[in-house]
Structure 1
C-alpha cells in the first residue's frame, strides 16, 4: 500500500527557512530568510491536512488552490505545483515574500487550531516560483492570438501589472503609464530589499516587456495626457495607488529633519539601485549616526525602522499610541525589528517637536492608556495627564498612512466619481466606474491596503474588460 504523502503534521513540526543572524542582517539589505531546500519544502508541504473546506484558500484574496499545490510539492511534482500557483496569482514569488500570511492563509490554517503549528505556506510559495525561474519554467507571455483592442493602464504597481498580465495573455494590446522611471510602484520604491529584493520585481517587469506590454515611464498623467490615453485606448484602468502621505499638524512640525516615510524609503531604494540621490547623500534622508524616531506602527513604519538600522542609525525608536496587541503591522515584522535592535515605545503619541535653529531635536511625547472601544471596536487611546516627556531625535519619520490624490482635478475629470475619502467609486468585482470604459483597481479604490488585494483587483478587472471586449466583438459580428 502506498505511503500517505500528506497529513504529517502530527509527526513533523512546523519549520521556517533559516533566518540570518540579526547582527549580520543589520549590515545589508539582502532578504533575511534563506531558501528551502527541495527536501525541506517537500517535508513542510507534507504537513498539510488536505482539509475538505480549506480555510487557507477561502481567506486568500486570490483564492489560491493552496492544498493542491502543497500536495504536488510534497510529491515532487514541482512544475505542476508552480503552474497551479501561477494560474491564480500573477506574482506568487512576491506574495510568498511580503504577504502577511499570519493574518491570511497561515492564520486560518486548521492544524494550527489543533496546536500543531500552521503549514509554512508562504515559504513554500516563494520556493516554488523561485525554483520555476531557476529551472526556466517561467516563459514570456505568448498569446494564442492577437486582438485589436487596447487598454491603457495608469500606474505600474501590483494592480496595474496584474491587469496587464492577464490582458496581454488574452492578446489585448496593453500600454502602462507611470510617473516613476522604473515600473513596479511600491514594490520597487516602497518596500525595502530585505523584504523584497529588487531583481525579483525587475525580472517580472522584463517578462511583461518581452510579452509585448509597453511601458511609458516618467509620465505624470495630467488632464491632457488622461484625455489622450482615453482617446487612444478602448478601455482605461486607473491603478495609481495612494501616495499622498497623512501629515501631522502640531507645534514644531515644520522643523528640518521631520520627513515622510515614502520619501525616506524611496531614497533608500534608489541608492540600492545605484542611483545618485542628493537628499540621501546630504544626510536629509539618511539615518546614519542619527537618533531616529518613527511615528506609526503599520507595515510602512516597520520598513522604516528596519531601514534605519541598516543605514547605521545611532538608535531607532518607534512610537505608537496603542499597545502591541492593537498595532496594525505584522507581528512577525515587529519581532524581526526587535531582533535587529529597534525599541518600541507602545502607548506613546507625539504632541509636538522640539528644535534648535530650525533642526529637530526631539519629539514631545504624551503617554497613553487604552479606554473604551471606538467606532471600529478597538479601544481608543486616552492621554495620561502629567506623563509627557521628550524623546531626543535627529531624524523623525512620519509613517502615518496614505491618502488618495485629488484625481478628478489632477486628471481634469470632474465626473470621475469618488468617495468622501477621495478613493474612486468602482463596482465590486469588476472595477468599472460610472465613466464609460474607465476602470479602477487597488488602493485607489480600497484605500491603503495589501499588495495581494491589488493583484486580485487587477485580475478581476482584466476579466471584466475581456468580457466587455468579447461582447462587443459578438455584436459586431452579427
Structure 2
C-alpha cells in the first residue's frame, strides 16, 4: 500500500515552492520561498524512489533518515514524519532553509542522476517542522529525571545549542555563555532574514529556555568572566565559539572598507529594531552606494543580497575564479543575479584608492593548472588592471579562529597549526580534562549542519564522561 504512494518521479515533475519575484523580494528581508501546501508537500515527497542505498542519507552529515520521512509525508502522516526528522536533527526547520542541499542530500539524489530532477528534500524538511510548530507537536524539553551534574557551554551558535538540547533532555543542568545579547550565533546575526527569518531561530531559543537551559549573554569570556571561573562552576565544559576572525587584505583600513561579519550583524540587528549607530551613520549601510563585495562564498552572497535590499546604487561581487569554481551555492548566485547583483569573475583586488575608499584596484586573472585541492589556480594577466569605482567595500574572504588560549589566558589548551582547537574527532575531547570542543572552532569554517552533528556527538561524549565521574565518586 505504501509503495503506491511513492516512486512518482516519472509522472510528477520536481516543483519547488513558489519563489517571490525579484522586484518584490529585493525590497524586504522576508524569506523568498513560500511554504508548501499540505497536498504539494505530499506530492513532492511521493517522488522519492525509496532507494535500497539512500545516497541522500549517506551524504547528510547527520545521516537523516530522509526516505522514511518523505514516505510518511507522502502518506499524510506528518507528525510521525516530524518525529523521525527530529530524532537525528536538532533543528530541521533551520537546515531545511539554509543547508546547501544541492551539495549534500539533493545533490546525491538517485533520480536526478537518471534525469528526473531531485526530490525537493530541503523544502519538505522545512515544511514538516514548520507544521509541527503550528500544530503543537514540538513539545517542551521535560527530562524524566533531573541530574545534579552541570555542563557549561561557551557559544550559543548551532553547535552549542545542539549540545545544550541533547544534554538537557538527559536531565543535565546546562548553562550557555555567549558574547552577544541574543542566542543563536551566526543563525541570529550572520545569516540574513531572506534566508532565515529570525522568529524561526527565536522559537528554538524559547524552547531551550523553557526547557531549563540557562543563558548568560553579553558575556565575553576572558573579560567579563574567566575561563577558569566557568570551568570551576561545572562538571564539564564545551567550547563551541565558532570562528569569527575575518581573513584580511593588506592595506584595507581606509574608511568605507568593512568586514562582512560587522556588516551583516548590523543589518540583522536593525531587523530586530535595535539602535545601531554604525548603520544609522552610514558606515555599515549600503543605501545609495556603489558596493563591491570581495569573495565567492556563501557569506559574500549574503552581503551582496543584503546590499541590494538596503538600496545600494550598484552591487558587484569580485571573485578570483569563475562561476564553476566558486565555493558558494549556485542557487544563491542565481538568486543574487535575479535581484540585480553583477558578478565580476576572474578578478582579484590589488589595492584601494582614497583615504575614504573611492575604488578597488582590480587585477584580471585566468585559470591555470590545478592546485593541491584539484581546483585550477588563478594566474595574473599582466597589464589588465583597472579601477572598479566604489563607496563601500565589504571583505567576505572567510573566517579564521581566534587565539582562544591567549584570549582566555588558558594554559594547556592545545591548538592545531591552523589555530583551531585540537580535539578528538569523534568525542570532541581536548587536551584539558573535562573540556570538549565542537563545531567550527574544531573543523574550521564549515556548515551549520556539521556544527549540529558535532554538538550532538560532543553531548554524548560529555554525558558518558560525567556519568563515569559520578560512578567513581559514588564508589
TM-score, scaled to structure 1: 0.98
Query: Structure 1: how far apart are the matches of 2:13 and 2:202?
Result: 35
Q: Write out aligned runs for 1:220-239 (5 A).
A: 220-222=220-222, 225-239=226-240
Give per-residue Cα distances to partners, 1:426-454, cap 9 Å, x unaligned: 00111101100000000000110000000
**1:109 equivalent in alignment to 2:109:** yes
Q: CA deviation at 1:209?
A: 0.2
Query: Structure 2: how far apart are the matches of 1:416 and 1:364?
Result: 42
Question: Match for residue 451 of structure 1?
Answer: 448
Query: Structure 2: how far apart are the matches of 1:172 and 1:470?
Result: 10
5+ residue gaps in structure 1?
A: none
Give per-residue Cα distances to partners, 1:326-376, cap 9 Å, x unaligned: 000000000000000000000000000111xx2100000010000011111
Cα distance 1:2–1:282, how it changes in 2: closer, same or farther (>3 A)?
closer
Among 461, 467, 471, the residue aligned to 1:470:
467
Cα distance 1:386–1:125, how it changes in 2: closer, same or farther (>3 A)?
same
TM-score, scaled to structure 2: 0.99
Q: CA deviation at 1:413?
A: 1.1
Among 403, 415, 428, the residue aligned to 2:412:
415
Query: Structure 1: how far apart are the matches of 2:431 and 2:228?
Result: 16
Q: CA deviation at 1:475?
A: 3.5
Question: Match for residue 58 of structure 2?
Answer: 58
**1:199 equivalent in alignment to 2:196:** no
Among 371, 374, 379, the residue aligned to 2:376:
379
Query: Structure 2: how far apart are the matches of 1:465 and 1:3?
Result: 42
Question: Match for residue 36 of structure 2?
Answer: 36
Q: CA deviation at 1:213?
A: 0.1
Native 8 Å contact 2:46 2:74 kept in 1: yes
Q: Write out aligned runs for 1:82-121 (5 A).
A: 82-121=82-121
Native 8 Å contact 2:2 2:75 kept in 1: no
Native 8 Å contact 2:95 2:449 kept in 1: yes
Query: Structure 1: how far apart are the matches of 2:302 and 2:152?
Result: 32
Q: CA deviation at 1:31?
A: 0.1
Query: Structure 1: how far apart are the matches of 2:357 and 2:266?
Result: 20
Using the TM superposition, name which of 314-323 and 253-262 deviates more. 253-262
Q: Write out aligned runs for 1:321-332 (5 A).
A: 321-332=320-331
**1:300 equivalent in alignment to 2:306:** no
Q: CA deviation at 1:178?
A: 0.3
Query: Structure 2: how far apart are the matches of 1:473 and 1:404?
Result: 34
Q: Write out aligned runs for 1:314-393 (5 A).
A: 314-355=313-354, 358-393=355-390
Question: Match for residue 147 of structure 2?
Answer: 147
Question: Match for residue 163 of structure 2?
Answer: 163
Query: Structure 2: how far apart are the matches of 1:226 and 1:140?
Result: 31
Would you say how many aligned residue pairs link Structure 1 and Structure 2? 474
Question: Match for residue 313 of structure 1?
Answer: 312
Question: Match for residue 209 of structure 1?
Answer: 209
Q: CA deviation at 1:476?
A: 4.1
Query: Structure 2: how far apart are the matches of 1:117 and 1:3?
Result: 20
Query: Structure 1: how far apart are the matches of 2:426 and 2:22?
Result: 42
Query: Structure 1: how far apart are the matches of 2:16 and 2:305?
Result: 21
Give per-residue Cα distances to partners, 1:194-245, cap 9 Å, x unaligned: 0000000001000000000000000000075211110010000000000000
Q: CA deviation at 1:140?
A: 1.2
The 4+ residue runs of structure 1 with deviation greater than 4 A are none
